[in-house]
Structure 1
Amino acid sequence: MSDLTLVSRYLKPYRRQFVLAALCAFAEATLELCIPFVMASIVDVGVATGDMGLVLALGARMVALAAVAGALGMGYARFSAQVAMGFGAGLREAEYAHVQDFAFSNLDDFDTSSLVTRMTTDVTVIQNALVMGFRPMLRGPVMLVCGLIIACTMSAKLAVVFFVILPALACALALIVHHVAPLFGSMQHAMDQLNDALQEDLVAIRAIKAYVREGYVAERFEQVNARLANAATRTFRTAVINTPVFTLSMNVASVALLWFGGQMIMAGEMGVGTLTGFMSYVLLIMNSLMMISNVFLLLARAVTSIHRVSEVLREKPAIESPAHGIDHVDTGDVAFRDVSFKYSPTAEKDVLSHVSLHFAPGSTVGVLGATGSGKTSLVQLMARLYDASSGTVEVGGHDVRQYDLAALRDGVGIVLQKNVLFTGTVRDNLRWGNAAATDEELLRACQLACADEFLDRIGGLDADLGHGGGNVSGGQKQRLCIARTLLKHPRVLVFDDSTSACDMATDARIRENLAQLTDVTKVVIAQRVASVMDADQIVVLEDGRVHATGTHEELLQTDDIYRELYESQVGGTAETSAVVSAAGPAAPTGPTAPASTPATTRKEVTDAR
């Protein structure tokens, strides 16, 4: 399916207005073509014979024609606006809805800034082409063809001037459009880069101010802004050449017609009124050519935007719900059966390689590993945010690919590594987990996530969180995100380093509260050994493979990586483990490294995908 066909389907709801706009434009052009013919009769007949009654009658006819043409022009403006604005709104809505169906792998193919540009600037370009180009696209050919026919009828000799100039104009137009069309694509790409820089700078404005980097980001923005300005300059510098070319052609045609027409009048072969009317048709014909050239330029830019929009609409979601998929997750049983995974089919190395694990229902599982070991990738497969490249991931005894996506993701709740809150109140954000939750349920979830400790200070459930949750700290944001996920009542609950901004005492209280959920399988990705040492099973990943599994005591005895992490963070040795465990994870026997381990450890303990 061509790009134009793909996009044109969104015009179907406005077919009636589209047809009415076309009829108005066609009728308006036809009436305007009649006016110079009437004017020629006034000069050659009414004025020449001194018949004022005829002059007034023909003048009234001209006024009536102009009035009707004006009314038709207003009708066209109304109907075309309805078509263009409705079409643009429908196209944006379709793009947005389609993006919502994208899997993470689809979103990896598009920059966020590019998607924003495609839904805003590109759709606006298409709208403008429809509003500003539809009328001249209809009027231009009608006025050109009819004007040439009438001009030939009035004087075939003078009409030869048109047939000499028109081919030259057509060649000039073709060259301009051919050269400028690729430049519009470059300009839109520069717009993507500008939006990317602007979005990043505005999101990170607090960090920019904290590091006093305003000058650096201003210089960087100036560079991308200059690239857009240069691309636009190159594009429109070529596009505007059509105006002087057509002005020159119009002036040459006018001089030639006056020269030859004057000679024909002197020879008695033509009347003054006929030449006056003929000159009016010159203006109409040349204006029609100017309209056609502008339409081609508009279409050249619109075609680029149509292609960019079509790329989004044509992108097929990599993950879709199966027909008649399972609509409920019964248990928290999780199994990985020889699972391998890579983000791109062309990647040389797997992110996860031959992973086989089993998490019993209701158990607590800790996942540790160095940066890039595949911890986040592992848990994303459970909610089918990505599909395994090979092997099988099972939840509740069924392959995750057999579930309806909404049911699976309700059954597998993930507190993401990057916490996201939305503009609005605490209540609004918590109800993302359960839109029908009562205030009692919201407060219970906040209590389990230890968010009740600060809720009253910020204004309770009706507290305004600001844009992106900017009115709360990182730790508070994490706890609200945990509460939001708890409201889904999932069978499997995944914490992707979701308490990293909380102090160890709060972390311990959250784990103690979550231990009450005996029917929920809890998977905890953490930086700190203390956060997972009381888990029923601990998984140590290394370079995408399962290095070791077991309890805290078992791994201290059998796994060097886990032992080194424990000793570097807790500050004791394997022999002191029993004492530390008895004291509780919230009261470590030595200093804790919040984000990384000393150089003596084998791996830096941070969390990344």
Structure 2
Amino acid sequence: MFWEVVRYTPGLFALDLVLQLFRSGIPLIPGLIVREVLNELSDGSSVDGAVDTAVWLLLAFLVGAVLARLTALLFCVAVDETCEARGQGLLVRNGFSRILAAPGAQRPRHARGDLVSRLTGDSRSVSQVVVYTFMVIGAGFQAALALVVMFSIDPLVTLVVCVPMAAGGVLITIASVRIRKYHAQSREAAGDVSAFLGEMYNSVRTIQLGNAQSRVLGRFRELNESRRRRTLKSRLFTDVFLGSVWTNTSTLATGVVLVLAAQGFGSGRFTVGDLALFVVYVGWTSDFTALFSQNLALFKQSAASVKRLTDAVPGPPDELVAHRVPDVPEPERVALSRLSVTGLTHRFDGGGGVSEVDFEVARGEFVVITGRVGAGKTTLLRTVLGLLPRQAGTVTWNGTEVDELVPPLTAYTPQLPHLTSETVRDNILEGLPADRRHLDLAVHSAVLERDLSALDDGLDTLLGPKGAKLSGGQAQRVAAARMFARDPELLVFDDVSSALDVDTERQLWERLFARAGVTCLAVSHRRAAFERASRIVVLRAGRVHAVGTLADLLAGDAEMRHLWQADTRQSAMAQE
């Protein structure tokens, strides 16, 4: 997966690697310059003027090296951030595209807030370790050069200095399992907080009606406290423990250099300049050990993040790093002659669903699906549209089998429509060109013009989360207008009139069928829909119980008579 992230923008990562090598090589130059300066100053046989000239020249090189390193560092930071953003963007894009590719009526395995946390936080962890690896490669290049220079000066001191650094690396390796465990717990706690936040925002009215503000906030504090403890444990173990190992390793290595250098001074094989160079280079070498150990910890942490991503996103893990998301072809508009449903089946694991359903919708017909609560009406519509997977049976459009029905073939309004926090206009158009004529026609067909005149800014009124400013009936009609704006071949309603009064429902059906060539498939239990239906499909326990016109069903089917009388009683109660 990491290699595929690199291959996604190879030129950018190659530039990053070159900059890392350049940035890491430059800091070795000041050590060599300081060594020569100190050796010159400590050499009493030199002529004073010559010493001054050499020292000033070396100091000028030192300033130049510092400026070059600063420039390289600034470029490295910019390219590092860009590489990290590109890698994270690849993972987020692919993860979200996989979620969108799943059947639309299947609920994700995780809460939406947790999904957002995984797609953002965990993808960032994975991308970070790729960029950090390039930093480690640069530090490794630096350490290798430093060891070569030190080994050329004194092989024994160089080998002894490497011992504590190697021991620190082994210690970090042993602790890596716990690092991964603590990071996974920390990310899980962060996901729980995000998920609960999402639930809070989506349930503001319920919380207020239940006077549960204090209990909800108490639960929120508990989750935050759990996140704080787990994150603190992860940071304490990773940062404090690793930082202690790195610092003590560097200090111990420097102490070894001082002890061995004291012996070298007496024999004359070690100079003051050599000591200064070793002290500087030991720091750079121990930095590599620290970075390598930290990178190992990040690898363990990113493994936990990868597991969280693949657990949340459907499909094989390789698709998370696919360089090109397959294009979803726009279906061509094919005029509907006949929609045929044959043997359609979708059963839920816990029971319920529909089995072996057959019916047809011809162009210009209004087919109503009805039945008691739990009969499978909504499941049937979603399975026909492809929002739920078809376990058996076929759906054909003019005799050609189709996997899913989307605009411009169909448009769908669910019983509980989803509206966003945007304006009424944006909720209706959802990316369509702002054609005023089509927009006005959609608003008129949805019987929405009076409601718009009552809103402060009309079509430009912001609706708030989930359309909070609208009543249930208004939300249904905004969703219906969204459907009408697409001018599909087949209109699919799921009990769209459930929150409408009798007069508004009557106007909606009258305006809809005043348009020529309208074909409609609707779930309904209302008399106004029954009376206009070309044909009614009665479901019972997930199967087709009866099919026919209203007159035929009322004359010969007890189930239909029960549904008709039930709606009559509900209408009478509503009028009272």
TM-score by length of 2: 0.87
1:116 maps to amino acid = V
CA–CA separation in structure 2 for the residues paired with 1:106 and 1:591: 36
- Deviation of 1:351 after TM superposition, in Å, equals 1.6
| CA shift in 2, pair 1:363/1:400, >3 Å | same
Between stretches 88-97 and 449-458, larger displacement belongs to 88-97
Specify which of 440, 444, 451 is matched with residue 447 of structure 1.
444
* Match status 1:338 vs 2:343: yes
* Match status 1:591 vs 2:541: no
CA–CA separation in structure 1 for the residues paired with 2:422 and 2:90: 27
| CA shift in 2, pair 1:210/1:531, >3 Å | farther
CA–CA separation in structure 2 for the residues paired with 1:270 and 1:287: 24
- Deviation of 1:137 after TM superposition, in Å, equals 1.0
Specify which of 561, 564, 570 is matched with residue 563 of structure 1.
561
- Specify the SS of the correspondent of 1:20: helix
Please tell me whether the aligned partners of residues 176 and 242 of structure 1 are also in contact (alpha carbons under 8 angstroms).
no
CA–CA separation in structure 2 for the residues paired with 1:61 and 1:322: 56
| CA shift in 2, pair 1:276/1:571, >3 Å | closer
CA–CA separation in structure 1 for the residues paired with 2:326 and 2:515: 29
- Deviation of 1:97 after TM superposition, in Å, equals 4.3
Please tell me whether the aligned partners of residues 6 and 310 of structure 1 are also in contact (alpha carbons under 8 angstroms).
no
- Specify the SS of the correspondent of 2:43: helix
Q: Which residue of 2 aligns with 1:393?
A: 395
- Deviation of 1:102 after TM superposition, in Å, equals 3.6
| CA shift in 2, pair 1:439/1:253, >3 Å | closer
Q: Which residue of 1 aligns with 2:104?
A: 104
Cα displacement string for residues 181-207 of structure 1 (whole angstroms, at most 9, x for unaligned residues): 243333333332222111111122233
- Deviation of 1:244 after TM superposition, in Å, equals 1.1
- Deviation of 1:177 after TM superposition, in Å, equals 2.0
CA–CA separation in structure 1 for the residues paired with 2:513 and 2:60: 91
Q: CA RMSD in A?
A: 3.2
- Deviation of 1:342 after TM superposition, in Å, equals 3.1
CA–CA separation in structure 1 for the residues paired with 2:71 and 2:327: 55
| CA shift in 2, pair 1:451/1:79, >3 Å | same
Between stretches 190-199 and 559-568, larger displacement belongs to 559-568
Cα displacement string for residues 387-411 of structure 1 (whole angstroms, at most 9, x for unaligned residues): 421111223343223xxx67x4322
Please tell me whether the aligned partners of residues 363 and 517 of structure 2 are also in contact (alpha carbons under 8 angstroms).
yes
Q: Which residue of 2 aligns with 1:604?
A: none
Q: Which residue of 2 aligns with 1:295?
A: 295
| CA shift in 2, pair 1:323/1:490, >3 Å | closer
Specify which of 467, 470, 479 is matched with residue 469 of structure 1.
467
| CA shift in 2, pair 1:99/1:8, >3 Å | farther
CA–CA separation in structure 2 for the residues paired with 1:348 and 1:365: 29
Q: Which residue of 1 aligns with 2:454?
A: 457
Q: Which residue of 2 aligns with 1:328?
A: 333
2:364 maps to amino acid = G
Please tell me whether the aligned partners of residues 106 and 387 of structure 2 are also in contact (alpha carbons under 8 angstroms).
no
- Deviation of 1:151 after TM superposition, in Å, equals 2.0
Q: Give the unaligned 5+ runs of structure 2.
A: none
1:336 maps to amino acid = V
| CA shift in 2, pair 1:70/1:453, >3 Å | closer
Q: Percent identity?
A: 22
- Deviation of 1:208 after TM superposition, in Å, equals 1.6
Between stretches 213-222 and 101-110, larger displacement belongs to 101-110
Please tell me whether the aligned partners of residues 490 and 520 of structure 1 are also in contact (alpha carbons under 8 angstroms).
no
- Deviation of 1:275 after TM superposition, in Å, equals 2.0
CA–CA separation in structure 2 for the residues paired with 1:76 and 1:423: 40
Please tell me whether the aligned partners of residues 409 and 488 of structure 2 are also in contact (alpha carbons under 8 angstroms).
yes
Q: Which residue of 2 aligns with 1:228?
A: 227
Please tell me whether the aligned partners of residues 536 and 547 of structure 2 are also in contact (alpha carbons under 8 angstroms).
yes
* Match status 1:372 vs 2:369: no
Cα displacement string for residues 129-162 of structure 1 (whole angstroms, at most 9, x for unaligned residues): 455x255312321232222222222222322322
| CA shift in 2, pair 1:547/1:479, >3 Å | same
| CA shift in 2, pair 1:593/1:221, >3 Å | farther
Please tell me whether the aligned partners of residues 186 and 231 of structure 1 are also in contact (alpha carbons under 8 angstroms).
yes
CA–CA separation in structure 2 for the residues paired with 1:217 and 1:276: 61
- Deviation of 1:436 after TM superposition, in Å, equals 4.2
Q: Which residue of 2 aligns with 1:211?
A: 210
Q: Which residue of 1 aligns with 2:55?
A: 55
- Deviation of 1:61 after TM superposition, in Å, equals 2.5
- Specify the SS of the correspondent of 1:381: helix
* Match status 1:142 vs 2:141: yes
- Specify the SS of the correspondent of 2:497: coil
Between stretches 102-111 and 517-526, larger displacement belongs to 102-111
Please tell me whether the aligned partners of residues 383 and 400 of structure 1 are also in contact (alpha carbons under 8 angstroms).
no
Q: Which residue of 1 aligns with 2:358?
A: 356
CA–CA separation in structure 1 for the residues paired with 2:337 and 2:214: 52
- Deviation of 1:287 after TM superposition, in Å, equals 1.9
CA–CA separation in structure 2 for the residues paired with 1:325 and 1:455: 32
Please tell me whether the aligned partners of residues 365 and 539 of structure 1 are also in contact (alpha carbons under 8 angstroms).
yes
TM-score by length of 1: 0.83
- Deviation of 1:496 after TM superposition, in Å, equals 0.6
1:410-489 matches, cutoff 5 A:
410-432=408-430, 435-436=432-433, 438-458=435-455, 459-489=457-487
CA–CA separation in structure 1 for the residues paired with 2:294 and 2:166: 17
- Deviation of 1:172 after TM superposition, in Å, equals 0.5
Please tell me whether the aligned partners of residues 338 and 354 of structure 1 are also in contact (alpha carbons under 8 angstroms).
yes
Q: Which residue of 1 aligns with 2:491?
A: 493
* Match status 1:170 vs 2:169: yes
CA–CA separation in structure 2 for the residues paired with 1:189 and 1:527: 44
Please tell me whether the aligned partners of residues 366 and 534 of structure 2 are also in contact (alpha carbons under 8 angstroms).
yes
- Specify the SS of the correspondent of 1:501: coil
2:9 maps to amino acid = L
Please tell me whether the aligned partners of residues 332 and 492 of structure 1 are also in contact (alpha carbons under 8 angstroms).
no
| CA shift in 2, pair 1:455/1:525, >3 Å | same
* Match status 1:37 vs 2:35: no
| CA shift in 2, pair 1:487/1:120, >3 Å | same
- Deviation of 1:518 after TM superposition, in Å, equals 5.5
* Match status 1:254 vs 2:236: no
- Specify the SS of the correspondent of 1:328: coil
- Deviation of 1:258 after TM superposition, in Å, equals 2.0
Please tell me whether the aligned partners of residues 176 and 239 of structure 1 are also in contact (alpha carbons under 8 angstroms).
no
CA–CA separation in structure 2 for the residues paired with 1:4 and 1:136: 15
Q: Which residue of 2 aligns with 1:122?
A: 122
CA–CA separation in structure 2 for the residues paired with 1:261 and 1:593: 101
Specify which of 524, 532, 545 is matched with residue 547 of structure 1.
545
Specify which of 510, 530, 533 is matched with residue 508 of structure 2.
510
| CA shift in 2, pair 1:76/1:375, >3 Å | same
CA–CA separation in structure 2 for the residues paired with 1:522 and 1:369: 18
Cα displacement string for residues 404-455 of structure 1 (whole angstroms, at most 9, x for unaligned residues): x67x4322221122212334333333223x8346323322222222112222
CA–CA separation in structure 1 for the residues paired with 2:510 and 2:299: 64
Specify which of 22, 29, 32 is matched with residue 17 of structure 2.
22
- Specify the SS of the correspondent of 2:27: helix
Please tell me whether the aligned partners of residues 451 and 476 of structure 1 are also in contact (alpha carbons under 8 angstroms).
yes
Cα displacement string for residues 300-350 of structure 1 (whole angstroms, at most 9, x for unaligned residues): 333443455567485579xx999999733322533221221235xxx3756
- Specify the SS of the correspondent of 1:478: helix
